[in-house]
Amino acid sequence: MPTCPPQRPPAPHRSAPSPDPLPRRGLARWALAGSLGLALALGGCAPMAGAPRGGFNPAPLDAFMQRVERDVQAGLIPGAVLLVARDGQVLYRKAVGRLDPAAPAPMPVDGLFRIYSMTKPIVSVATMQLVEEGRLALADPVSRYLPELKQLQVGVEKPGPDGKPTLALEPARREMTVQDLLRHTSGLTYGVFGKSLVKDEYLKADVRPGDDSVDFDNAELVRRVARLPLAYQPGTTWEYSISTDVLGALVERVGGQPLDALLQQRILGPLKMRDTSFAVRPDQLARVAQPHAVDPDTRQPVRLLDARKPPRLLAGGAGLWSTADDYARFAQMLANGGTLDGVRLLSRQSVQWMTSDHTGAIRGPAYAPGPGYGFGLGVAVRLTEGQSTIPGNRGDFHWGGYAGTFWWHDPAERLVAVWMMQGPGRSGFYRPLMRSAVYTALD
């Protein structure tokens, strides 16, 4: 049975908290059948002040979760957790399937998941805290803090004597900035989206954030990146990349702490995100969600982070574990304009800055946000109600993770939703279905 979150003390590095724009009880464990006016307590928590505005019909979400349950029975997905909140109150919170496809235990609502790239928004918030403190600025060149990355060159393919492409180098027209790392316009790459000679170099360099077999730390990550060419001129192309991993190394250096300790002190501790960390504690192992050993769609072996192996690399772009409840607290903090339960992590203006479009016309060959979306500082940001194939409203923002996790906030609907699963092959399959069900449930 879940426990009630206590009132949060102010974060030690922040001034006195300002009043919350939404109810102070944040994400207490309540389920509200909105249009019926029925509230069901989960775990004995007191209800939050005020009732959510607007009706809610859980039937579309029940139908969606029944679809997921059928897929569980068909062996397509082990299990999943869905949490939907409005006005800071949980409207829907349900788990289906099994925690481990090789064991009979059902999926608990507090199942622990590898969130991979949902680490990125958390590290982006830590970066913005340092910006607010005047310890760095978005326009600063990254080399001001990571001098190893000064004077990087850009890889350019040119025809060789035999007509085959060869890799030439040319100077970068400008250095990558902190803003470039936050918005994925740094010129860096993962090396896996598309083919090029530069991406081949990244694969050879064995730069693998989010892989627990990596036996080096963030300092070594920066040294390896320093030996690689950029895939693009900084500021010209959106390329999903190791940018946030480099950002994590930068935050470590500026903050003067290992990334795990820094995030715990500045974000995870103040928000009482007790199940969110880079390493799984022994007492948490019984709640770790596991994938199928072989992906049911691709028929390829599935290899995800090992819960029993603490990572050496604290990957700022891919390394955290979390639960639906924990991540909903983080998302609700952003929805509230930087505060939750009396604890302020960011100013309202900084959250607005983060969740505004920072890319303009900048796009790339594999633009993950998709039509209708720009990209802010760590999150995709919706620019228009149309164009996208998924429902939503102008101003909503989101991001997801490699193994299938996903979250978004829609300010127009005062909505936060978190989806947790562990199935890379179906990473994007359920997201549009789930979003459609959520919006259909709202009156």
Q: Which residues touch 62 (CB under 8 Å, ≥6 apart)?
A: none
What distance lies between CA 249 and its chain's CA centroid?
17
Distance from C-alpha of 151 to C-alpha of 231, rounded to nearest angstrom: 14
Distance from C-alpha of 366 to C-alpha of 364, rounded to nearest angstrom: 5
For residue 224, the number of C-alpha atoms closer than 13 Å in the C-beta half-sphere is 21
Indicate the burial class of 421 (C-beta count within 10 angstroms; 0-12, 13-18, 19 or more): buried
15, 117, 143, 277: the catalytic one is 117
Structural tokens at position 136: 């760095």
Q: Are strands 30-33 and 89-97 parallel, antiparallel or unpaired?
A: unpaired
For the chain, the residue count is 443
DSSP 268: I
| AA identity, residue 436 | S
For residue 192, the number of C-alpha atoms closer than 13 Å in the C-beta half-sphere is 9
Distance from C-alpha of 39 to C-alpha of 412, rounded to nearest angstrom: 23
DSSP 418: E
Q: Which residues touch 286 (CB under 8 Å, ≥6 apart)?
A: none
Helix axes 324-335, 119-132, angle to 10 degrees: 40
Active site residue 18: no
Q: Which residues touch 105 (CB under 8 Å, ≥6 apart)?
A: 98, 99
Distance from C-alpha of 25 to C-alpha of 328, rounded to nearest angstrom: 13
Distance from C-alpha of 395 to C-alpha of 224, rounded to nearest angstrom: 37
Q: Would you say 147 and 210 are in contact if contact means Cβ atoms under 8 Å apart? A: no
* Active-site residue set: 117
